[in-house]
Amino acid sequence: MSKVPDELKYSKDHEWVRDNGDGTVTIGISDHAQEALGDLVFVEVPEPGRQIAAGEACGVVESVKAASDVYSPLAGEVTAINEALGDAPESINDDPYGEGWIYQMRPSDPAAVAALMDAAAYRALIENE
Amino acid sequence: MGRQTPLFAEHQALGARMVPFGGWDMPLHYGSQLAEHLAVRASAGMFDVSHMQTVDLDGPGALPFLRRLLANDAARLKAPGKALYTCLLNPQGGVIDDLILYHLGPGRYRTVVNAATAEKDLAWMREQAVGAEVEIKPRRDLAMIAVQGPQAREKTAPLLPEPLRERALALAPFSAAEHGDWLVARTGYTGEDGFEVLCPAGEAPGLWRGLLAAGVRPCGLGARDTLRLEAGMNLYGQDMDETTSPLAAGLGWTIAWEPAERDFIGRAALEAQREAGDLPDFVGLLLLGPGVLRAHQRVLADGRGVGEVTSGGFAPSLGRSIALARVAPGTGPECAVEIRGRPVPARVVKPPFVRKGAALIPLD
């Protein structure tokens, strides 16, 4: 069974969102998503400063099997990216909620974070897949 | 739910991720496709390939039948124990399947064909065999395990039936030794040394567990695909199919043009193609920019489309992305591949990319 940490929020596209408490959030893909993709070999992250819409494809994760878009769960401005993924895309497999984070952003609507799925809802989603 | 090989329970016990493939439920990987790939290059890995169809072709008419059926010449297998790789062509010169043919004894041949095409191949063979003195027998009672890697042969030999052990280790590449319903061949689909072992289905789990105990790593279809891509070996249905000539798929070397009077199916079509010339090149690509090459991406030269990637992926042994591609004649060495709408620089190279653990193409 894949890990779904209680303190995070989730999207239906299998991204997770951590509220950093300073007006920014950190975003990555869930343990369930990395398991389904298999070994990751290439990650493309959005440029810092880019404004992205909710649901917009803003990055790509490619595994040995397939390429998959990363859809931003929230609208806002990209504030930081995980540059280490360029050399170590496998961090997403090894530690999807830690070293495998993909980007940080400042959501244009801070209240939108709370409206995302909680861990219980996300667990239900992946169990029904 | 697909068909299950005699090793299905072994895959489940090892926690394999199972996927549908050619009508069968097969292991994609057992945890990490990358680690499986690298184990084959460094030591030894094993693949359940029991989904592939073994077909025996026996009788006094077997050789003349095979010389008409196949683009390579079965008469080249002068001694029993020899094997060759060949295409099965339609009259238009398109590839119905690719296969390995083994010569087992006088009037006794065996072929192993792809799982997804097995029924089609059998129907075609039977249709062509009408009136010939040959019996076509699918061997659904056999399982097949490929053991590949620099340590594969030494780890496999002690697990074979006693009369086969020494003979197996003495085999030259592309030869086989038979004992009852066991057949061990020094062949494979990875670019490494190794064996492909056919055995009675009931004996396969014991062999599998013995190999596991000897430290041979179970590998899934995922690693099989990246290994064969690095080795520059074609995959049926992806690099060629019934609409593709072997001459446009890098398989010209498998066609036996001599003797000129051997009238194999598809010969006239291939001769006309060769005469007309202007066939596409079938090449290797090394991606120079970021991303991963995938089947069906467009190959560009001077901004214009000149062909298509037929197989692509990440090459774990190289840490780079590579592909096989069909392109306009003379393309390269510099070109680009369109990845998500953007041209990414690539270079035309000559496959194989990797053989026996070593890179064969320059990476800088």
Q: What is the CATH number of the domain that holds B324?
A: 2.40.30.110
Does residue B144 share a domain with residue B25? Answer: yes
Q: Which residues of B touch A39 (CB under 8 A)?
A: 32-34
State whether the Cα torsion B281-B285-B291-B295 is positive or negative.
Answer: positive
Does residue B144 share a domain with residue B224? Answer: yes
Residue in A closest to B37 by C-alpha: A64
pLDDT value, residue A48: 96
Q: Which residues of B touch A91 (CB under 8 A)?
A: none
Residue A129 has pLDDT above 90, yes or no: no
Q: Which B residues, 221 through 280, put their C-beta within 8 Å of a C-beta on chain A?
A: 222, 226
Residue A94 is classified by DSSP as H
Residue A1 has pLDDT above 80, yes or no: no
Given the candidates 3.40.630.40, 2.20.25.90, 1.10.10.10, 2.40.50.100, the CATH classification of the domain at A10-107 is 2.40.50.100
Range of the domain at B335: 280-364
CB contact under 8 A, B33 and A62: no
Residue in A closest to B294 by C-alpha: A66
User: Mean pLDDT over residues B80-87, rounded?
Assistant: 98
Cite the DSSP H helix spans in chain B. 8-13, 33-42, 62-69, 118-128, 152-156, 162-169, 204-213, 221-230, 267-276
Whether residue B58 is contained in a domain is answered as no
C-alpha angle B149-B153-B154 in degrees, rounded to nearest 5: 115
CB contact under 8 A, B29 and A38: yes
pLDDT confidence of A128, banded at 50, 70, 90? confident
CB contact under 8 A, A64 and B222: yes
Q: Which residues of A touch B34 (CB under 8 A)?
A: 39, 41, 64, 90
pLDDT value, residue B11: 98
B14 touches chain A (CB under 8 A): no
CB contact under 8 A, B222 and A60: no
Whether residue B145 is contained in a domain is answered as yes
| Structure token pair of residue B6 | 């005699």
Does residue B225 share a domain with residue B144? Answer: yes
- Exposed/middle/buried for B79, CB within 10 Å: 0-12, 13-18, 19+? exposed
> A103 with A80: CB under 8 angstroms?
yes
B332 vs B168, which has greater pLDDT? B168
Residue-wise pLDDT for B255-314, tens only, equals: 999 999 999 999 999 999 999 998 999 999 999 999 999 999 999 999 999 999 999 999
Mean pLDDT of chain B: 97
Whether residue B56 is contained in a domain is answered as no
List all residues 6 or more positions away from B98 whose beta carbon is below 8 Å from its beta carbon: B85, B86, B87, B88, B114, B234, B236, B240, B251, B254
> B39 with B149: CB under 8 angstroms?
yes
Does residue B42 share a domain with residue B156? Answer: yes
C-alpha angle B272-B275-B276 in degrees, rounded to nearest 5: 85
Q: What is the CATH classification number for the domain harbouring B187?
A: 3.30.1360.120
Q: Which B residues, 326 through 355, put their C-beta within 8 Å of a C-beta on chain A?
A: 340
B290 touches chain A (CB under 8 A): yes
Does residue B145 share a domain with residue B44? Answer: yes
Mutate to test the interface with A, among B21, B34, B317 (most CBs of A within 10 A): B34
pLDDT value, residue B364: 80
Q: What is the ipTM of this complex?
A: 0.88
pTM of this structure: 0.95
Residue in A closest to B34 by C-alpha: A39
| Structure token pair of residue B3 | 């068909």
Residue-wise pLDDT for B169-202, tens only, equals: 999 999 999 999 999 999 999 999 999 999 999 9
Residue in B closest to A90 by C-alpha: B34
Whether residue B192 is contained in a domain is answered as yes
CB contact under 8 A, A42 and B292: yes
Whether residue B208 is contained in a domain is answered as yes
Does residue B179 share a domain with residue B37? Answer: yes
CB contact under 8 A, A44 and B33: no
> B348 with B335: CB under 8 angstroms?
yes
Name the domain boundary from B198, B230, B262: B230
Does residue B162 share a domain with residue B21? Answer: yes
Task: Give the bridge partners for B83, in sequence order.
Answer: B102
User: Mean pLDDT over residues B19-24, rounded?
Assistant: 94
Does residue B284 share a domain with residue B184? Answer: no
Please state, in angstroms and rounded to a whole number, the distance separating the CA atoms of residues B287 and B276.
Answer: 32
Residue-wise pLDDT for A7-64, tens only, equals: 999 999 999 999 999 999 999 999 999 999 999 999 999 999 999 999 999 999 999 9
Distances (CA, A) of B64 to B61, B91, B109: 6, 18, 12
Q: How many domains does chain B have?
A: 2
Q: Which residues of A touch B294 (CB under 8 A)?
A: 66-67
